[in-house]
Chains A and B, each alone.
Chain A
């Protein structure tokens, strides 16, 4: 409990809005560059790495809720908030075990997180939206489905087509940020010793 209080210090609270803004701004740059990825959880992964799993989870959860309040797009955001929370949480767990200290471990951690994200997203897509996400990704789902695969499995494979790569890149970017930032900024965060 004491440790949790330390994680949720004022620095962490001041960081979450910035992290969410980074998620959204980078997500939009990626869209502007027409790159077929999301990269909309870099901020969340950073928070998890420097402030621990629980703060990471809160950042992910709130990121999706705020996204809805800004763009009015409630379908692709709020229902997937638990997935975003899991991404932040896992970033915190990998951070705790020093996986942000080397680039290949960061990439591996990201890929694993991507697999978990696909596993968690599939049932949400399936039960809430009848198996579609309303983007070009649905072509993949349709292709698997036409092969006679169950909808739930098709949703999972659709996620696997992007999520592991997407999260691996996000984790790598966060690794690079942590390396680039001067010590005095990293020192301020509660989990500084685990990642440097």
Chain B
């Protein structure tokens, strides 16, 4: 097993090689446009123009599609039911037994689903194409405390081990005859013998982990250096500034559209 970096998919593409802040700024800009530019289809345009080509370039398109669908479908179903059918007032476009499908609710659900698709696919694109330690280093260089970056990175690494531990305990307790099937009450009662060994065992580890950190001068204040070096270019810096300008422009447009009718009236 070589190093694992969360969701990261190791590929040699131009997108992977970009500075983490470039990718982060790009995804955030896409998100902002999808969420605040008016129009039901705005998120879908962002998806086609902004997300899909980059996912293809990064060779993670199938991963993005698969996981976006997995996360978005339950939302979409809920949205179409809750908003489409239970919209108060509105234009009825179809009667479905006791319920009526409303046009306003349907449009709301389409737009809502689009926004969620952008949030999910944008985040996935960023995660698949960016090593989390590089992202954290980039953010540290912008002022994120190194303690926060430590917490995130070390959590990412211990979680697989914890899941393994949890499964071991689950199997062990089952083989000892613990009932993990049956009524709600039986299953809830089964929880304590599962959860307690996990909790108590890990809390004892905390002390040693803290000692290990102190030994490695983690508590020392003062400037830190880094073995990992991020490559940035002037073109990328320019591109990021441009993205920030676009974002500001979109925000300004939104505020204008919001204020204009009020002044007109």
Residues of chain A having any CB pair with chain B under 8 Å? 8, 10-11, 13-18, 20-22, 24-26, 28-30, 32-36, 39, 42, 46, 58, 62, 65-66, 68-70, 72-75, 78, 128-135, 138, 141-142, 145-146, 148, 173, 176-177, 180-181, 185, 188
Instruction: Point out which of B162, B170, B192, B218 has the most chain A C-beta atoms below 10 A from its C-beta.
Output: B162
Instruction: Point out which of B77, B127, B152, B195 has the most chain A C-beta atoms below 10 A from its C-beta.
Output: B195
Residues of chain B having any CB pair with chain A under 8 Å? 6-7, 67, 71, 74-75, 77-79, 81-83, 85-86, 88, 108-109, 112, 115-116, 119-120, 123-124, 127, 132, 147-148, 150-152, 154-156, 158-159, 162-163, 165-166, 170, 180, 184, 187-188, 190-192, 194-196, 198-200, 202-207, 209-210, 213-214, 218-219
Contact B151 A131 (CB under 8 A): no
Contact A134 B74 (CB under 8 A): yes
18 new A-B contacts at CB < 8 Å, known A24-B162, A74-B119, A177-B196: A10-B210, A13-B150, A14-B213, A18-B205, A20-B159, A26-B199, A28-B163, A33-B187, A42-B195, A73-B120, A74-B123, A74-B124, A132-B78, A132-B112, A134-B74, A134-B77, A173-B192, A177-B203
Q: A29-B166, A33-B191 are contacts. A14–B88 as well, Cβ < 8 Å? A: no
Q: How far is the CB of B46 from chain A (nearest CB, A)?
A: 16
For B88, the chain A residues whose CB sits under 8 A away are 148
Q: How far is the CB of B42 from chain A (nearest CB, A)?
A: 15
Contact A129 B86 (CB under 8 A): no
Q: Once bound together, how far apart are the Cα atoms of A129 and B79, in whole Å? A: 8
Query: Of A24, A65, A78, A130, which is within 8 A of B159 by CB?
Result: A24
For A66, the chain B residues whose CB sits under 8 A away are 152, 155-156, 159
Contact A22 B202 (CB under 8 A): yes
Q: Once bound together, how far apart are the Cα atoms of A65 and B127, in whole Å? A: 12
For B158, the chain A residues whose CB sits under 8 A away are 17-18, 21
For A74, the chain B residues whose CB sits under 8 A away are 71, 119-120, 123-124
For A65, the chain B residues whose CB sits under 8 A away are 152
Q: A16-B151, A35-B188, A130-B109 are contacts. A10–B219 as well, Cβ < 8 Å? A: yes
Instruction: Point out which of A16, A46, A148, A180 has the most chain B C-beta atoms below 10 A from its C-beta.
Output: A16
For B195, the chain A residues whose CB sits under 8 A away are 26, 29, 42, 173
Contact A142 B81 (CB under 8 A): yes
Which 10 pairs, one residue from A and one from B, show the smallest C-beta to C-beta distance?
A132-B78, A134-B74, A134-B75, A14-B210, A14-B209, A130-B112, A21-B162, A138-B78, A17-B155, A74-B123
For B132, the chain A residues whose CB sits under 8 A away are 69
Q: How far is the CB of A195 from chain B (nearest CB, A)?
A: 14
Contact B83 A25 (CB under 8 A): no
For B187, the chain A residues whose CB sits under 8 A away are 33-35
